[in-house]
Amino acid sequence: MSRGSLLPLAADRGLAVIINRPFRQGELVDAVKRHKLPPWASEIDCANWAQFLLKFVVSHPAVTSVIPATSRVDHMRENMGALHGRLPDQTMRERMIRFVEAL
């Protein structure tokens, strides 16, 4: 089974999907944080990279829950911001992918 087929398979079968540590212990955020958020991040109410990345993960139709895991209060506060505002639709998710891949 290819990596890209797991989430669609879970969705087709109605299985819950929990994403644990989507930031890979900060590695993902560290890779992008030196870059500015795209101006259009405000369209999905993102104020920082953690919110941008979490909203991307949470908005996948097959994802049931996300556990970012942090021991830092400031990171927890950033993460909690992803609870509010709009989530990206599929068109926005594709835009997010293109932006991050171009960094």
Show pLDDT as tens, one digit a residue, over the chain (103 residues).
445 788 889 889 999 999 999 888 878 888 899 999 999 999 999 999 999 999 999 999 999 999 998 889 999 999 999 999 999 999 999 999 999 999 9
Q: What is the pLDDT of residue 18?
A: 92
Q: What is the pLDDT of residue 3?
A: 57
Strands, E assignment, the chain: 18-20, 65-67
39/46 Cα distance (integer angstroms):
10
pTM over 0.85: yes
AA letter at 30: D
Tokens (6 digits) for 98: 């293109």
Q: What is the pLDDT of residue 37?
A: 97
Our measurement of the distance from residue 51's CA atom to the centroid of its chain's CA atoms, rounded to an integer in Å, reads 7
Tokens (6 digits) for 54: 């979490």
Instruction: Give me the helix-helix angle, 73-80 and 49-58, nearest 10°.
Output: 50
